[in-house]
Amino acid sequence: MTQPGLFFDFTPDPKVLIALTHTPMLPLDALCELLDNAIDSFQAAKLTGIRIEKPLISIE
């Protein structure tokens, strides 16, 4: 969970979505990459001194 009042909207540009449709990646591989990147972001936050009380990854 992010700090109170701290929210990030990472809605991709439509051009990125078009590019992704032409990327030869299986859906499971894409999901794993998404989760890996999210976990890496928690580690990066920790290294830069940003404290995240209860890390949570929510995919909708």
- Average pLDDT score over the chain: 82
Domain boundaries, given as residue ranges, for the chain: 25-55
Q: Which amino acid is at 46?
A: K
- pLDDT at residue 6, as a whole number: 65
26-43 pLDDT, tens digit each: 888 888 988 999 999 999
pLDDT score of 1 more than 70: no
Determine the Cα–Cα distance for residues 6 and 4; give it in Å rounded to an integer: 5
